[in-house]
Amino acid sequence: MRLLLLFLLLPCVAGADSLVATRTLRPQSILGPTDIAVTKDSLPGVLADPAEALGREVRVALYAGRPIRAADLGPPAIIDRNQRVALSYVEGGLAITAEGRALGRGGVGDVIRVMNLSSRATVSGRIDPDGVVRVGPSR
């Protein structure tokens, strides 16, 4: 028992892993289990846990054998460029909704620019999980 406790208390050197792409991946593709591999190299700024990458969308081209950084991935897009979206502004007891056209693409939590179709004004808002773009101070 004492030996086990001593073993658990000793500092150990853990090998750090890095994720690399197994094949060339184009932007806007979703990472699956066959798209990534774990290497024993420890590289700064590179993802180490496959759970951090699986199901995420590739934002830039990833080449086979190259490391995958967190900035290379993002949430899967739920809004595409030129898609009609609902705009919502809520402040206190005031709630305004309008229809807009997305000027970019993005996933949940991303901030995108949207053109209000009735006023032609361009606003920025954060994408909610339901696909509504929230504008104003509460975004």
What DSSP string describes 64-131? Answer: TT-B-BGGGEEPPEEE-TT-EEEEEEEETTEEEEEEEEESS-EETT-EEEEEETTT--EEEEEEPTTS
Q: Which two tokens stand for residue 17?
A: 């892993």
Kindly report, residue by residue over 55-111, the tens digit of the pLDDT. 999 999 999 999 999 999 989 999 999 999 999 999 989 999 999 999 999 999 999
More confident residue, 10 or 45: 45
pLDDT at residue 2, as a whole number:
42
User: Cα–Cα distance between 44 and 24 in angstroms, integer?
Assistant: 21
Assign 135 to helix, strand or coil. Answer: strand
Set out the domains of the chain in order of their start, with CATH numbers.
16-74 (3.90.1210.10), 77-135 (2.30.30.760)
**pTM assigned to the model:** 0.69
Phi and psi for 108 in degrees, rounded to 5? -55, 125
* Beta bridge partner(s), residue 135: 89
* Beta bridge partner(s), residue 87: 98, 133
User: Cα–Cα distance between 53 and 72 in angstroms, integer?
Assistant: 10
Query: What is the average pLDDT across 44-62?
Result: 92
pLDDT at residue 13, as a whole number:
38
